[in-house]
Structures are given as C-alpha cells and as structure tokens.
A and B are shown apart, each in its own frame.
Chain A
Amino acid sequence: MKTIALTGNPNSGKTTLFNRLTGSNQYVGNWPGVTVEKKEGLLKKEFGEAVITDLPGIYSLSPYSPEEVITRDYILKEKPDVIINIIDGTNIERNLYLTLSVIELGRPVVVAVNMMDEVNSTGGAIDCDAISKELNVPVVPISARKDINIEALVRNALSCDKAVDLSDKIYSDDALIAIARIENLISEECKRCGLPLMWTAIKLLENDIRIIKHLDLPADKQRAIDDIARGFESTGELGDRETMLADMRYKFITNTLVRKHVVKPVKPGGESLSDRIDRFVTNRILALPIFFLIFSLIFYLTFGPLGSFFSNALDILINDIVSQAVISLLTSVNAKEWLISLVTKGVISGVGGVLVFLPQIAILFFFLSLLEDSGYMARAAFIMDRLFRRFGLSGKSFIPLLMGFGCSVPAVMATRTLENERDRRMTIILTPFMSCAARWPIYALFISAFFEEKRWIVALGIYALGIVVAVISGIVLKHTVFRGETVPFVMELPTYRLPTLEGTVLQLWDRVKEFLLRAGTLIFTMSIFVWFLSNLGPDLTVVQTENSIFAHIGRIIAPIFAPLGFGNWKASVSLLTGLIAKEAVVSTMGILYGLESSAAESGGLVPVIMQAFTPQSALSFMAFALLYVPCVSTLATIRREMNSLKWTAFTVAWQLVMAYLVSFIVYNVSRLVI
C-alpha cells in the first residue's frame, strides 16, 4: 500500500485536510522516543488505497525543534512514497519556504494550495499551473474546509513518483560550487548513514548541528568543509552561511514564484478582516477586558449551571440507576456480599466518580479547541506575554496553564508549543498548581460540609490559591534554579478563522476517548485495588475497614499531617489514593467512611465529613489536595515531557514542599481568624 506523508505550516489547514482524506479512519499515537503526537489514517475508500501520516505542523526543517527533527527524520528514514505539502494560499510566501525545504529532502512532493476560496473571494489570485512549472511538482489548488478539489489532489498524489532537484534554480553559483565540493568529500559517509547526498551537503554548508553529529566525519574532512564554508561566506554580504542560504530560498520564492504568479488580495482600507478584529481584541485598552470576559464565560459555562447540570444527571444515572440495577441483578443470582460490595462500592463508585466529570471536561475542551482553531489562543499569548515573563514564563505558557484547569495531562503535553527547554520545564512544574477538574469534587464535598453560604468565595479562593502559589513558585524558581538568560518569543498571529464543527468535534472526541480509556483502565484497576486494600487485612482476609491494610498504612503516615489539622488515617489514605487519580480522594473517602456507616446508604458523605473535620482542617485539606503531587498519569506525562528523572523528582519535591508549607499556613492562620 502507498504511504503518503502530510506536511505543512501550523494553521495551514493540515488537520482539516487530514480529516477530509481519512474521515474517521484515524488513530493517534506517539512518535517513538518523543511525545509529539503521531496521527495516522487510512485514505477514504472512494479515493483509493493509501496510509496517510500526519506530520507535525512546522515552519522549516531546522535542527532545533523536536517537531522539525521528527518530520525530516521520518521523511529520510521511512521514505514515504509521496509527500503532500499543504500551504496556506493566503500566506503563500512564508509557506513556500517549507515547501522548498521539503522538496530538498529528495522525495516526490505534491503541493496543495489551501484556502483558494478565500484567496479568490478577497480579490487575490494564484497561478498554480505556472508555479507547478517553476517547481516541477504538481501544484493543486484546494479548499480543505469547503471540500473543493480534494479528489484531484489525491489523484495527483497517487500518481506522483518523481523527486525533483531545484538547487540550480535556488542557489547561487558560489553556493552550488561549495555544495558540489562538499558532496565529493562526504559521499562515502553519506552512503554509510543512508542520507541523500545533496541534501546532506547543503545541511553541512548550513552548519546543521544534528547532521554534523550524525555523520561523525573525520577531523580533516570537517576542517575541509569549514574551509569551503568560510570561502562561501566571503562571497556574500550577509556574512554567515545559514542566512545566505535562507536568503537565496526566500529570494527564489519572492522573485520567481510570488512576484510573477501571485496576485495578493486587495484589502479594503489596507486592512483585512483579521486586522479589524485585532483592532479590538489586542487593543491596548480593550484587550484585557475582552480576555477576562472570554475566559470567565468559559469557566462559568464549564463549572456553572450548564456543566453541573450534566454532571448531576450523569451522577444520578450512575450512582442511583445503574448501581441499583447492578445490585438487584447480583442479588438475584445470589452473589456473595463481598462481590456486591466490590462491584458497587469499589468499581461503580470509583469509576463513576470519575465519569461524572466527563461533561465538564468535554465542555472545557470544546471551548479551548474553539479558541485554538479560531486563532484567539495566539492573541491570548501575545497579550499575556509581558505579565508571564515576570514569573519567568512566556506568553505561550498561558495555554498549558489554562488547560491545567481542565486536566493536567493534556496541559503538560501542550507545553510542546514552547520551543525553549527552560520555559517548558518551568511551565510543566507550575501547571499542576492550576486546579484540575478532577480536584473539584474534593472542594465540592468540603464546601457542602462547611462553607455552604460562602460557596463561591471559597471555590474562587482555592483556585486563586493555586494561581498565587504558581506565581510565587515562578518568581522563586526564576531567581534560583532557572537563573540566567530570558528566552526569546517569536510567534505567528494566525489569521482569524471560523472553526469548523467537524474539526472541533473530532478534536473533542480524541480528548473524550483518552479520558474514557483512562477511566476504563487505570481508574478501573485502581478502584478494585483500593477496595481490596481497604477491605483486606494484612493477613489477606476480609476485615472491617479499621483493620485493613490501608488503615495500617494510614496510621503510620497520619502523624505527618497532624500539624496540618487532618492527622487521621482516613484522610491520609484518601490523599494516598489521590496519587493514583485525584478523583479517587473523594471516592476513597466514600469507601472508607461509607463502609463504616453501612446503614447510611443515602445522605452521602457530608454529615460524616462534618464530624471528621473542622472548618480549619477542611481548608487545610483542600489546600493540600490542590497543591500536592498530581496523579500518576500526570506524573508519567511529566516524566516523558521532561525527559529526565532528575527534573521529575524535582517537580514532585517542589510540589510536596509547597503543599505542606501552604497547608500549614492555611491551617494556622484560619485557626486565628475563624
């Protein structure tokens, strides 16, 4: 079967095209060794037979960002039969830069000029046939969003089998001579490493650190190449080889392609629609009110009446209807009492406790993906950058931090948009302080028990506490562990576009699927595990909860929490199971306290909690639950994203210290105040 790789700039409509080509025949994985998302799919039957790999959205093939390295490694090693390079017709000049880099890799390329409908409707024009003649590859005008000409694109891709060489057209004679001389030097090493000769020579002339390392040339050859490069540098005014070659590529694009074959759209009054929207959205005075309005609205819809309505409905469905049905079913087949307890109090209440958050997580991600697809997220980063820099972060940290309010796992994964290692690490450390949705039931429980009248103040307060701790941590880390240079911030502000329903729904489905999978596997197993630990004694016989394995562990660690006001073993055990998943804190409390008062089926936890805690220790417990180590899924993600055990350990240590310290302060201060 043919293999097709899809490349393109961010915001070029690549995902939309991928969805058009594959429909729902797609699956998401990870690139080996790194955590950049890998999407693959089967071509829709009506188009033919092929496997399509969606490569990350990138601007070039430099050796500096993981996404770019993945793309070029994939093309060089996997040698896809053809590459579809999708470019944004409304921003063709910069998009073509990647096209030239991709063609240089020596695989057959088909160029898809996307958003042609928009180009035409704004009075612009692109002569695709002429550009195709210049580039010597098929160039197909399409609109992925409006589903125009996709079939022609696929037909071209399936029949395209020749790679082209444009170096004569792009590079100066001096450059070509230098490239040829390097080719002569490295042909042997190139063959050994299986790299295309010309591309490798160009990369060496560009001083590409990864290729230099990979080839591992003998010192005399490397010296000879440096001499050739120095000679080449002296032929131009720009002075350094990287700039000189890039300049030649851009000159080729501007002079040969864009100036002759592209008519840029006429903007009414010199302003596009995007510019006009930005006059308000990134306006000096209006930007912040608009920003806060948008995010307050999203939070209100997520955690306010809309989200609660769905959550409550699901809660009733699972814990009343399903649970009762299962009990009567099990009773009717004379199941043992412990089995009924395992299924209902272990599995259903454990997994169900997580599932009730599904509506809220779905709503939050729905809005976040709308913001992302419309182009507002980049503006949010633009607006907030100055502020975030004070805490040692970048404007781009804003997106992961915001997603942290939904779930830390995708939030930590979202730090990939930060190119700089230091920014990424810092953002990863601070993200779990943003209170994820799974922590909400902990607050909800304690608020219902102690602070019903001041519900909103306490809820907002706990979220604010997380932000304050993140800010303080940021400032402290900036001046200690991460002392040193500030890092650059270079980001495109993409044209505003109306998000497509299909794209948003597909993206949402990915998240929901991930969440359901987690609930079905990790949390399912954990619920059973917790039930056993809380029902079996050290001798592995069924015992009362007070004598269970958990109780033993809890009693050992409980004194640690005494200075925080909740030094009882049930609270300690709940926090322990919270490591497996934050949702488990409440469900464990349910199991631990619920089993104790087995008669009280209804009425819930609230009355028991009111006896076990004081308002002060409740506040302290909430603060601790907010700040201490996130769940194992998050920890595993942090470990992967940090790609370092040392940094993961540092993150955990930092969170534990902050949690203990802040809870201690909260407990003692509130004892004085309340």
Chain B
Amino acid sequence: MKLTNRYQHTLILRSSMLTKLNGLEVKCLKLLKTLKDLKPGQFGIVTELKSKGPIKRRLIDMGVTPGAKVYVRKVAPFGDPIEINIRGYELSLRKEEASHIIVQSCSSEEGK
C-alpha cells in the first residue's frame, strides 16, 4: 500500500503543471480525485463525468464539462451540499453528485 502511494507521488511530481485559476498561479497534479474529496479552498480541473442520464446532462448544461476549472468554496452548515465556483458563478450540488465528478486536484502556489 505504502509503495503504491510513494510511486503515485513521484508520478504526480513529474507530471505536475502550472495553470492559472481565478488569477492565481496554481500547480495542478495528475492525481485524480472526485470533486467530493476536494476541501473548501481547493481548486481542481474537471476531467470526467461519471454521472448518468438527466443529471449528467444537467451538469454539462451548467458548465461542468471536462477542462472546466472548479473552486470548492464551502460546505453547507449541515455538511451537505457543497458550493463550488465554476465558470465564474456559484453552483451548489450534493456530495453524492460530486462523487461522480472526477477532477485533477490543484493547489495554489500560495499554499492555500
């Protein structure tokens, strides 16, 4: 288990890249997570939608498409849903939906 983690980590470092999000210089890692796993204050880039049917279409129509940058703003007081910023507006969705959205997690250079 530990070995795989370390192996993944080196991969991450080698393939990390720089990109600009909301005017902030951020480093994006090739480490894939679900949107649910991002913490408030973290950035990510959508890589894949695993949702199905009308819900997938709704997410796409709302601009949650591969390549779109997301910023997790906060979690609702009762722990769900979450609020994200995408394409310059605020969208809320439940953790259940977020768990079907695969993102590449990014960290800002300021170490946010």
Residues of A within 8 A of B91 (CB): 490-493
Residues of B within 8 A of A287 (CB): 76-77
Scan B74-109; emit 1 where CB is below 8 A from any A CB, else 0. Answer: 111111110100011111111011000000000000
Instruction: Give the residue of A243, A264, A285 whose beta carbon is less than 8 angstroms from that of B60.
Output: A243
Which stretch from B5-13, B30-38, B62-70 is at the chain A interface? B62-70
A488 to B64, CA, bound (A): 15
Residues of B within 8 A of A64 (CB): 54, 57-58
Which stretch from A318-326, A334-342, A379-387, A584-592 is at the chain B interface? A379-387
Query: Are the CB atoms of B81 and A395 closer together than 8 Å?
Result: yes
Query: Are the CB atoms of B74 and A282 closer together than 8 Å?
Result: yes
Residues of A within 8 A of B3 (CB): none
Residues of A within 8 A of B73 (CB): 275
A62 at the interface (CB under 8 A from B): yes
Report if A247-B92 is in contact (Cβ < 8 Å); known contacts: A242-B57, A382-B83.
no
Query: Are the CB atoms of A91 and B60 closer together than 8 Å?
Result: no
* B87 vs chain A, min Cβ distance (A): 4
B1 at the interface (CB under 8 A from A): no
* B111 vs chain A, min Cβ distance (A): 15
Query: Are the CB atoms of B83 and A59 closer together than 8 Å?
Result: no
Residues of A within 8 A of B51 (CB): 488
* A266 vs chain B, min Cβ distance (A): 8
Report if A94-B62 is in contact (Cβ < 8 Å); known contacts: A242-B56, A491-B92.
yes
Instruction: Give the residue of A238, A288, A419, A490 whose beta carbon is less than 8 angstroms from that of B66.
Output: A238
Query: Are the CB atoms of A385 and B61 closer together than 8 Å?
Result: no
Query: Are the CB atoms of A488 and B93 closer together than 8 Å?
Result: yes
Which residues 336-386 in A have Cβ within 8 Å of B in the complex? 378, 382-383, 385-386
A264 to B60, CA, bound (A): 22
Which residues 43-79 in A have Cβ within 8 Å of B in the complex? 59-60, 62, 64
A93 at the interface (CB under 8 A from B): yes
A670 at the interface (CB under 8 A from B): no
Query: Are the CB atoms of B81 and A91 closer together than 8 Å?
Result: no
How many residues in B have their beta carbons less than 8 Å from beta carbons of A?
40
* A191 vs chain B, min Cβ distance (A): 28
Query: Are the CB atoms of A94 and B65 closer together than 8 Å?
Result: no
Measured CB to CB, the nearest residue on chain B to A488 is B55
A650 at the interface (CB under 8 A from B): no
Measured CB to CB, the nearest residue on chain A to B89 is A91
Report if A246-B93 is in contact (Cβ < 8 Å); known contacts: A93-B87, A282-B76.
no
Scan A410-442; emit 1 where CB is below 8 A from any B CB, else 0. Answer: 000000000100000000000000000000000
Measured CB to CB, the nearest residue on chain B to A264 is B88
* B26 vs chain A, min Cβ distance (A): 13
Residues of A within 8 A of B55 (CB): 488, 490
A31 at the interface (CB under 8 A from B): no
A60 to B59, CA, bound (A): 11
Query: Are the CB atoms of A246 and B58 closer together than 8 Å?
Result: no
How many residues in A have their beta carbons less than 8 Å from beta carbons of B?
45
Residues of A within 8 A of B24 (CB): 270
Report if A490-B58 is in contact (Cβ < 8 Å); known contacts: A247-B66, A382-B76, A383-B76.
yes
A489 at the interface (CB under 8 A from B): yes
Residues of A within 8 A of B54 (CB): 62, 64, 419
Q: What is the predominant secondary structure among interface residues of chain B facing chain A?
A: mixed
Residues of A within 8 A of B88 (CB): 91-94, 264
Residues of A within 8 A of B58 (CB): 59, 62, 64, 419, 488, 490
A454 at the interface (CB under 8 A from B): no
Residues of B within 8 A of A493 (CB): 83, 90-92
B49 at the interface (CB under 8 A from A): yes
B22 at the interface (CB under 8 A from A): yes
Report if A386-B76 is in contact (Cβ < 8 Å); known contacts: A60-B61, A243-B49.
yes
Measured CB to CB, the nearest residue on chain A to B100 is A488
Report if A492-B76 is in contact (Cβ < 8 Å); known contacts: A247-B67, A386-B81.
no
A284 at the interface (CB under 8 A from B): yes
A486 to B65, CA, bound (A): 23
* B59 vs chain A, min Cβ distance (A): 6
Report if A385-B63 is in contact (Cβ < 8 Å); known contacts: A62-B58, A488-B55.
no
A490 to B49, CA, bound (A): 14
Residues of B within 8 A of A282 (CB): 74, 76-77, 83
Instruction: Give the residue of A91, A288, A383, A489 whose beta carbon is less than 8 angstroms from that of B94.
Output: A489
Which residues 221-248 in A have Cβ within 8 Å of B in the complex? 238, 242-243, 246-247
* A68 vs chain B, min Cβ distance (A): 9
Query: Are the CB atoms of A385 and B60 closer together than 8 Å?
Result: no
* B11 vs chain A, min Cβ distance (A): 20
Scan A380-418; emit 1 where CB is below 8 A from any B CB, else 0. Answer: 001101110100000100000000000000000000000
Query: Are the CB atoms of A386 and B59 closer together than 8 Å?
Result: no
Query: Are the CB atoms of A490 and B93 closer together than 8 Å?
Result: yes
A299 at the interface (CB under 8 A from B): no
A561 at the interface (CB under 8 A from B): no
Query: Are the CB atoms of A284 and B77 closer together than 8 Å?
Result: yes
Query: Are the CB atoms of B80 and A386 closer together than 8 Å?
Result: yes
A491 to B57, CA, bound (A): 14
Query: Are the CB atoms of A246 and B65 closer together than 8 Å?
Result: yes
Residues of B within 8 A of A93 (CB): 63, 87-88
Residues of A within 8 A of B63 (CB): 93-94, 97, 250
Query: Are the CB atoms of A243 and B87 closer together than 8 Å?
Result: no
A488 to B100, CA, bound (A): 11
Query: Are the CB atoms of A489 and B89 closer together than 8 Å?
Result: no
A285 to B94, CA, bound (A): 20
Query: Are the CB atoms of A488 and B92 closer together than 8 Å?
Result: no
Scan A595-606; emit 1 where CB is below 8 A from any B CB, else 0. Answer: 000000000000
A387 to B56, CA, bound (A): 24
Measured CB to CB, the nearest residue on chain A to B24 is A270
A225 to B92, CA, bound (A): 36
* A80 vs chain B, min Cβ distance (A): 23
Query: Are the CB atoms of A94 and B77 closer together than 8 Å?
Result: no
* A653 vs chain B, min Cβ distance (A): 30
Instruction: Give the residue of A97, A270, A378, A494 whose beta carbon is less than 8 angstroms from that of B61.
Output: A97
Residues of B within 8 A of A97 (CB): 61, 63
Tell me the B residues contacting A by CB distance below 8 Å.
22-24, 48-49, 51, 54-63, 65-68, 73-81, 83, 87-94, 96-97
Can you sample 11 A-B contacts with CB below 8 Å? A62-B57, A238-B66, A251-B67, A275-B73, A287-B76, A385-B76, A386-B79, A488-B58, A490-B58, A493-B92, A495-B89
Besides A246-B61, A386-B81, A494-B90, 18 other A-B contacts (C-beta < 8 A): A60-B61, A93-B63, A242-B56, A242-B60, A243-B65, A246-B60, A250-B63, A275-B73, A278-B90, A284-B77, A386-B77, A389-B80, A419-B58, A488-B58, A488-B94, A490-B92, A490-B97, A493-B90
Q: Ordered nearest first, which 9 A-B pairs have the shortest CB separation? A: A386-B78, A60-B61, A493-B90, A64-B54, A246-B60, A93-B87, A287-B77, A488-B55, A386-B80
